[in-house]
Amino acid sequence: MSNIIDTNWKQKLAEQIREARQAADMTQDELAKLVKVSRQMINNYEQNKGVPTIDILARMAVELEKRFKISDMVITVEQTSPRLRTVPKQLRLDFEKCETFKGAIISITPTEGQILISAKIPA
């Protein structure tokens, strides 16, 4: 564990929020409405004039489909479709082993640092 404290984490978070919002092609006002804060608060977060609470940051992660990293901590929230919750089978991948799914047209081959996904489209 490092004894060095990252004093720039607030600025880095502000940049991540702004970049994620812009990548989502969203205005500050649109994001504010989705996470239930004012547009001015979004502007403050992006200008490093304030830090969102964890619940607001979690809502941003969901709406922007973004993982926020603060020092060594990653904030991510994944929404699961209600339909997917009913699927009883879990997908497990072992590195260097090709997985083929019977009755499916997808093959997933994980290797160190990458995952190769091939799909066959029936004619």
Tokens of 123: 């004619």
Residue 111 CB neighbour total at 10 angstroms: 11
Domain segments of the chain: what residues? Answer: 9-75, 88-119
Cα gap 45→41, rounded to integer Å = 6
Please tell me the pTM assigned to this model.
Answer: 0.59
Residue 33 has pLDDT above 50, yes or no: yes
Average pLDDT value for residue range 8-17: 92
Q: What is the pLDDT of residues 49-63, one digit of tens each?
A: 999 998 898 889 888
- The CATH superfamily assigned to 9-75 is lambda repressor-like DNA-binding domains (1.10.260.40)
Cα gap 86→91, rounded to integer Å = 14
Q: What is the pLDDT of residues 63-109, one digit of tens each?
A: 898 888 887 777 766 655 554 444 444 445 555 566 555 565 666 67
**Residue type for 105, please?**
I
**Residue type for 110, please?**
P
